[in-house]
Amino acid sequence: MATRARRWQRGFVTICCASTLGLGVASGGCGSSTGYLCPWDEDQGPKGTPCEVLDPPDAGGAGGCGGGDGGGDDCAAEDDTDVAVVPDFGGLMPAAEVCAGQCVPKEPLGWSEPALLWIGSPDAVPSCPAIAPIIGYEGYADFAAPAPHQCPACACDPPEATCEVPVEWKAFASFPCGGPEAPATSFAAPEGWDGTCTSASAVEAGRMCDGARCVQALAIQAPRVVSAGCAPKVAEAPENPDEPTPAGSFALVARACTGNASPPCADPGMTCTPAPPTGDAAPPEGFLTCIHHEGEQDCPATYPDRHVFHAGVEDTRGCAPCGCAQPVGATCSVLASAFSDEGCSQLVASQVITSDAPDCGTVASGTALGSKSVSVVSLDPGRCEPVGGEPVGSIAPTAAATFCCRRTSAVPA
């Protein structure tokens, strides 16, 4: 037991010197009370320290360096392995394997191991410190959207239209046309007629219908505007259309730095990570100790300060293509003429008919309807309302990641 106690004591000196003096102070000697930098407790060894021994220093007594019963051997002659008994380690650990950084709470399941995180202006992004030289993440926050996307103003050319002449002509045995008791006699033009003189469906003079002369009134179908629609065009282009579209900017940049694997901590609920450097040595000042998770997450109680960053932006902005609605307001009018002969020379009746309504007029009773013709008097193709040209899509940050940090007064503003 005395030999074991001495070995622990030597290891204890090493641990206390490393943790208290930053590995820059050596032992004051073996076998002397000045060589032990930790407070002693006769029953349990040091309290409030990471060291624990079974026996106090013995300057020459049994079991001590330089003492009797084996204790007088020079310390260098003993086992060269310096070890310390650290609470909760469950055994002996070489002093060189004690965490040289900081012991912080372990990350919850699904989160990354703690890393050093810097947050600040894009103009002042530091290099990773030597204790954590690997860039593990870079992201951005506080996105400032650009000015609204500029799109051209759309317009429409006048529609291409024609006036379709009426082909349905009917003679009635009474006036007005279409009475319930009045027989109708067709005087129709051929399908696809262009309005030139035609003798199709001629009605001879004096034809009788149910005891009455068939021709006493003449009804003519209204002409119809046939439109091919409008062609869209750009009425007004944006200023400087060749300039790149502004993409917005982020006010903050985040850089996470990681290091190599570290020895474990005494507490199994803690993990060893690089400690954020402090002092006047820039740029490491301002680093935080944080854990990371993809997406937007809530933070655990052990790392309560939440920061959300994004990998970049997704820009789906554009302009709706220009188009044209169906034409409205189109009208046309025709001059429709009926003749008693087959060559469109002996006029019986003539009337201007608009596309708004059909026409019905009286003619001399029993007159022959030998031919007809139609000519277009006017055509208003109407207009088309332009559609499209408005901004579509959006620009927004994408690929969110959450960093949860230990609470500290050093959090950057």
Give the number of domains in the chain: 2
Question: CB neighbours of 362 closer than 8 A, spacing ≥ 6?
Answer: 175, 216, 217, 218
Handedness of CA 201, 207, 210, 216 (dihedral sign): positive
Q: Using CA atoms, how far apart are residues 12 and 41, in angstroms rounded to an integer?
A: 14
Asked if residue 305 has pLDDT above 90, the reply is yes
Evaluate whether residue 124 is within a structural domain.
Answer: no
Q: Where are the beta strands (DSSP E) in 202-317?
A: 208-209, 212-213, 217-220, 224-227, 232-236, 249-258, 270-273, 288-294, 305-315
Evaluate whether residue 8 is within a structural domain.
Answer: yes
Evaluate whether residue 118 is within a structural domain.
Answer: no
187 and 68 in one domain? no
Asked if residue 126 has pLDDT above 50, the reply is yes
pLDDT grade, residue 148 (50/70/90)? confident
Model confidence pLDDT, tens digit, residues 357-386: 999 999 999 999 999 999 999 999 999 999
Least confident span in 84-93, 369-378, 398-407: 84-93
Contact between 345 and 339 (Cβ < 8 Å): yes
339 and 201 in one domain? yes
Name which residue leads in pLDDT, 97 or 18.
97
At 152 the pLDDT is 86
Neighbours of 390 (CB within 10 A): 11
Evaluate whether residue 273 is within a structural domain.
Answer: no
Q: Where is the domain boundary, 97, 131, 153?
A: 97
User: Can you give the CATH number for the domain in which 370 is found?
Assistant: 2.60.20
Q: Where is the domain boundary, 97, 120, 142?
A: 97
Evaluate whether residue 133 is within a structural domain.
Answer: no
Contact between 255 and 386 (Cβ < 8 Å): no
% of the chain residues with pLDDT over 90: 49
Least confident span in 270-274, 342-346, 348-352, 368-372: 270-274
Closest CA to 190 of 167, 169, 173, 212: 167
214 and 350 in one domain? yes
Evaluate whether residue 411 is within a structural domain.
Answer: no
Residue corresponding to tokens 């070890």: 83
Evaluate whether residue 71 is within a structural domain.
Answer: yes
Quote the domain boundaries for residue 39.
2-97
335 and 209 in one domain? yes
Backbone angles phi, psi at 147, to 5 degrees: -60, 155
CA distance to 68, 88, 125, per residue, from 8 (Å): 18, 16, 46
Hey, what amino acid is at 230?
C
% of the chain residues with pLDDT over 70: 71
Cis before 122 (ω within 30): no
182 and 59 in one domain? no
pLDDT grade, residue 241 (50/70/90)? low
Neighbours of 289 (CB within 10 A): 20
Evaluate whether residue 176 is within a structural domain.
Answer: yes
Find the mean pLDDT for residues 93-103: 67
Q: Where is the domain boundary, 76, 97, 118?
A: 97
